[in-house]
Amino acid sequence: MLAALLALSSVASSAIPAPEPVPSAAPPPAEPKTAAVEQAIDKLETQVKSWGGSVGVAIVDVDSGKAIAVRHEADPKNPASNAKLVTAFAALKLLGPAHRYKTGLYGKLDGDRVPELVLRGEGDPSLDAGHLWTMTRELLTAGIKRVGAVLVDQSYFDEKFVPPAFDEQPGEWAPFRAPVSAVALDENTVTLSVRPSSKGKDATVRVDPPGFVDIVGTVRTTKKSDPEKLTLDLVPKGDRLEARVGGHIPEGSRVMRVRRRLDDPRLAPGHALREVLESAGIKVEGPVKLGGAKEKRLLASHRSEPLGTLLRALGKDSDNFYAEMIFKSLAGGKKGRPASAESAAQTVTEVLEDAGVFEKGIVVKNGSGLFDANRLTAWSTASLLRTALRDTAIASDFVAQLATGGVDGTLRGRYRAWANRGAVRAKTGTLNSVASLSGYVLAPPGRSPLAFSILVTNVSGKVSAVRPLMDKVVDAAAKELWAAR
């Protein structure tokens, strides 16, 4: 029985074996009662309707596929970050849990010199300056002392950096709205750090990653009782940026950090690489520019963590940048280069169709669920979850990337009563007028897990009030499932 194979102590850490046949003489397991679940759904729907919103609910027995409870389950709705479940499912199906993204340095050798050093990537969302240092040390080991120009090859992705629907909030400079690119450093953001000095002196200001942003202005250190005040404007300056800073920071205070997304991320990794090369003692003689797609000789490389590990940024932390990078990368091999969001959406839709979970009204446009881009139904989402859990090739990694109720991620403060059992594994979703929650209630031995999806829309200003009502639905399902032993 599948439930026995998904023992709570091992679901996230070991591969799930193929189900063993159930002996014909074995009595059927008890099914959870549904009265309390239906009552919780009634309360959710009544309250949401009073606010002018609507709900979609589907709770499904994973072993049998039987609907335990449904409500408007076929109505397409904006799933918010529950769209990341689709991205994770498609990525695991297409690439596999062990897939690692490759970033490399390429170029021809001319003695101890590389005339054109090419930095090339295929969509690794986790690349940082430390990885550039690792590759630079490989160059030093190979005896390379000089580089002509530094080229950044962004050709694995197209040049539409802004994911679909992100332009609905164009003036937002927060990191959650960062653009995507084939070579992306520090999630295509820059971080300004301000460390106070002694009263009356300039604070220490730095920007990471290095090399792409020039700092103009000063931040003064004031007396300890003064409040913090920091101004920051990022202004294009040629192919780089200028950070215009001002304000003050009190003596003895913590380091202030401000993180902003980049607008055009294409050359930022190249400038950071140039800074790293020169810091390591490799002289860079020429400019940083785009190009190098035809260069084939690999000089140094870095591989990301396995996809199964990277996906935890999606399921547990709801990282939009990771979601959009992985989403777009899915079109890199199947649909040819350069990958586009449109080709990625088509690829993901085909995965849903092949898995038998695509329904009329489903719309896939971006990989994160931000803004008004996607449409899912509660039934299709619960069906996807059921399909993932029954697929032994991806089940462990798919479950492991979800937040565990009362333990970690976006569910750290919810379902604490189930934390010791690790029973609630789910993905949250939040927009201004959308609240969603989809995942699993994992079962005790002898019982089948439940897959559930709760999608609530058109509740502007009431999202925080919706969450406890959704939680009561899941809590009721968990209580009845565990009581059915």
Total-model pTM: 0.90
Q: How much is the pLDDT for 7?
A: 45
Q: How much is the pLDDT for 36?
A: 94
Q: How much is the pLDDT for 28?
A: 52
Q: How much is the pLDDT for 34?
A: 83
Q: How much is the pLDDT for 175?
A: 86
Instruction: Show the low-confidence residues of the chain (pLDDT under 70).
Output: 1-33, 333-336, 484-485
Q: How much is the pLDDT for 24?
A: 42
Q: How much is the pLDDT for 30?
A: 54
Q: How much is the pLDDT for 29?
A: 55
Spell out the domains of the chain, with CATH numbers in brackets.
Answer: 2-99+307-483 (3.40.710.10), 102-161+266-303 (3.50.80.20), 168-261 (no CATH)
Tell me, letter by letter, the H, E, C secondary structure of the chain: CHHHHCCCCCCCCCCCCCCCCCCCCCCCCCCCCCHHHHHHHHHHHHHHHHCCCEEEEEEEECCCCCEEEEECCCCCECCHHHHHHHHHHHHHHHHCCCCCCEEEEECCCECCEEEEEEEEECCCCCCCHHHHHHHHHHHHHCCCCEEEEEEEECCCECCCCCCCCHHHCCCCCCHHHCCCCCCCCHHHEEEEEEECCCCCCECEEEEECCCCEEEECCCEEECCCCCCEEEEEEEEECCEEEEEEEEEEECCCCCEEEEEECCCCCCHHHHHHHHHHHHCCCEECCCEEECCCCCCCEEEEEECCCHHHHCHHHHCCCCHHHHHHHHHHCHHHHCCCCECHHHHHHHHHHHHHHHCCCCCCCECCCCCCCCCCCEECHHHHHHHHHHHHCCCCCHHHHHHCCEECCCCHHHCCCCHHHCCCCCEEEEEEEECCEEEEEEEECCCCCCCCEEEEEEEECCCCCHHHHHHHHHHHHHHHHHHHHHCC
Q: How much is the pLDDT for 37?
A: 96
Q: How much is the pLDDT for 185?
A: 97
Q: How much is the pLDDT for 21?
A: 44
